[in-house]
Chain A
Amino acid sequence: MRWDWSLLAPEYLLAGWAALMALLGLWGRLRAYWLGYVAAAGALASAATSLIWLGDRTAFGDLLAVDHYTTFFRVTFGLIAASVCLISAGYVERFLRHHGEYYAILVVSVIGATYMAAAQELLSAYIALELLSFSLYVLASYAKMDLRSNEGGLKYMLLGAFSSALFLYGLGLIYAVTKTTHYQGIAEALAGDLGGTKGLALLGLSLIVVGLGFKVSAVPFHMWAPDAYEGAPLPVTAFISAISKAAGFALFLKLMVQAFLPLHDDWSPLLASLATVTMLLGNLVAVHQRNIKRLLAYSSIGQVGYLLAGIAALSPETANAASAVLLHLAGYVISNLAAFACVTVYYNWTGKEDIYEYRGLAERAPFVALALSISLFSLAGMPLFAGFVTKFVLFQAIAEADLLWLAAVAVFASFVSLYYYLMVMRQMYLVEPETRERLGVAWPEYGLVAVLVVAIFVVGLGPQPLFNAAQEAASLVYQGAATFAALSP
């Protein structure tokens, strides 16, 4: 067994950076504002480092894979963390205490997220999942003196712990049936004759789906999400909505393809029905929301529905659906971060987060209003914007997998989502403002917002590079699965 430590260089970098952030926080001479930039630099550096190890190798005796799939997510997570650190800079200095630890925990959570994507084995996947979840629990309840943050954090923590216990019980059952914890070994065992243990395997699989459903906030396991989103400090909400979904689906996709593809006919209808209720309920309940954080929470639940539909459309033959899921995940993350960056800028100015408080924003801060509109259009999936391309590819993949009805539900849900996004824009552009006083200019945040908006258009108008990257990553996951397909009768 070869132990190639260098493969994990990006994670060593992150761990070192987290320690550095905690120390810098103690030092106290650096303005809290700059800590955000230092943390963002670390996250970017780790994303850049991961590009050096483009290749297809495994580390630690097949526990972790360092391949295009991992690299795709390393870069995604690195960029998410960097954006969130930049969003945080102003907010954290103003509203939170213990700045160094805040960034340290944020950086550590990226390690967990990466290993969720890299894991090839259930135990590693579980530890990585918990590393990410624990960091997010702490971050969600970071505003110690704020009752809403306490409450959101506690609900998130209790339901999260409950769901990981369910997940773990499922892992135990799968281990009992297959006598291994490696994805490939599980697939080989499941492809063979299960005899009387098939029921046990299906029970384990359903528990795993329920546990992961909690983590990515799929209906009916979504109850924690709106509360945690509303209670958590704003940049943390942005972070949870981006990284917990991205990492959750990284693990979900790999697990379903590499380990559970032999049971495809059993879990596909289950996930299709989960996806249907998630899309419908998420988007319909969002219509009633008055708080922008809750609105974005329910809209992200709706997005999870589309992604789940993509997972339900996975097929043993082609990797189309898998690459479509990755593509939409990237598009969703970019648009969502852009929306949250705008919301945070507005909150830093005014301390307000109700939708009616956005009235007349177009006159008071035209750039923020425009950027927020663009990101909401992208989330709704309007042409020109990233959301259109990624949704189009995803829905096409769903339709091609003989789930035409599911694609129809997804299109309907998208129309519903357009309605409530437009309601926010109506407040900003058509309603008279309270005062005509111009709000200031927050240059650093504006820079980030501009980059994200440009990214939305780049993906929307020229999606080919991202599409290729997603396809390469997805085909790699399938390579592992293909070897067992040859084995099975």
Chain B
Amino acid sequence: MIPVQHFLLLGALLFSLGVYGVLSRRNAVLIILSVELMLQAVNINLVAFAVYLAPDEFVGLIFALFVIAVAAAEVGLALAIALRLFRNRTTANVDEVDSLRW
């Protein structure tokens, strides 16, 4: 059996990639995509923990199912809002959207 550390490492890598994407990408759609990466990293973690650490319970698996559902809703919502912006401004680049400044 593959040791649990491998899954956790994969999760941590994926999560870091997601964080890097959110911080470095300037296109709204790509930022949303990066957030999805982060959520999938969480899912890998949760499922790994559930299978390796508490094999008799389903809490981790149920948690992961809920996260999948929430992530789907999140993408729908985020894309709708980004689309609105794109229609009004013809750009999805968050750097060019700067009418609100302190």
B22 to chain A, nearest CB (A): 5
Given contacts A175-B49, A231-B100, contact A150 B66 (CB under 8 A): no
B67 at the interface (CB under 8 A from A): yes
- List the B side residues contacting A122 at CB < 8 Å: 63
Which of A151, A179, A180 neighbours the largest number of chain B CB atoms within 10 Å of its CB? A151
A444 at the interface (CB under 8 A from B): no
Tell me the interface secondary structure of chain B in the complex: helix
- List the B side residues contacting A181 at CB < 8 Å: 59, 63
Given contacts A162-B35, A172-B45, A175-B60, contact A150 B81 (CB under 8 A): yes
Q: Which of B71-90 contact A (CB under 8 A)?
A: 73-74, 77-78, 81-82, 84-85, 88-89
A43 at the interface (CB under 8 A from B): no
- List the B side residues contacting A151 at CB < 8 Å: 85, 97, 99-100
- List the B side residues contacting A148 at CB < 8 Å: 99-100
Q: Mark A225-253, 1 if CB is under 8 A from B, else 0.
A: 01100110000000000000000000000
Q: Mark B1-35, 1 if CB is under 8 A from A, else 0.
A: 00000000000000100100010000010011001
Q: Mark A152-186, 1 if CB is under 8 A from B, else 0.
A: 11110110011001101101110110011100000
Q: Which residue of B lies closest to A169 (CB)?
A: B42
A123 at the interface (CB under 8 A from B): yes
What is the total number of residues of chain B having a CB less than 8 Å from a CB of chain A?
A: 39
* From B67, B81, B100, contact of A137 by CB (8 A): B81
- List the B side residues contacting A150 at CB < 8 Å: 81, 84-85, 88-89
Given contacts A154-B81, A181-B63, A285-B102, contact A165 B70 (CB under 8 A): no
Q: Which of A165-210 contact B (CB under 8 A)?
A: 165-166, 168-169, 171-173, 175-176, 179-181
CA A153 to CA B100, docked complex, whole Å: 12
A138 at the interface (CB under 8 A from B): yes
CA A226 to CA B100, docked complex, whole Å: 9
Q: Interface size bucket, A side?
A: 35 or more
Given contacts A147-B89, A176-B45, contact A168 B39 (CB under 8 A): yes
Q: Which of A297-341 contact B (CB under 8 A)?
A: none
Q: Which residue of B lies closest to A140 (CB)?
A: B81
A430 at the interface (CB under 8 A from B): no
Tell me if B63 and A123 are in contact (CB < 8 A): yes
Tell me if B53 and A147 are in contact (CB < 8 A): no
Tell me if A294 and B102 are in contact (CB < 8 A): yes
Tell me if A169 and B38 are in contact (CB < 8 A): yes
* From A134, A145, A154, A285, contact of B97 by CB (8 A): A154
Tell me if A172 and B88 are in contact (CB < 8 A): no
CA A171 to CA B28, docked complex, whole Å: 26
- List the B side residues contacting A158 at CB < 8 Å: 22, 28, 31-32, 35, 78, 94
A-B pairs with lowest CB-CB distance, top 7: A165-B38, A150-B85, A227-B100, A172-B45, A176-B49, A161-B35, A168-B42
Residues of A that sit less than 8 Å from B by CB: 122-123, 126-127, 130, 134, 137-138, 141, 144-145, 147-148, 150-155, 157-158, 161-162, 165-166, 168-169, 171-173, 175-176, 179-181, 226-227, 230-231, 285, 288-289, 294
Residues of B that sit less than 8 Å from A by CB: 15, 18, 22, 28, 31-32, 35, 38-39, 41-42, 45-46, 49, 53-54, 57, 59-60, 62-63, 66-67, 70, 73-74, 77-78, 81-82, 84-85, 88-89, 94, 97, 99-100, 102
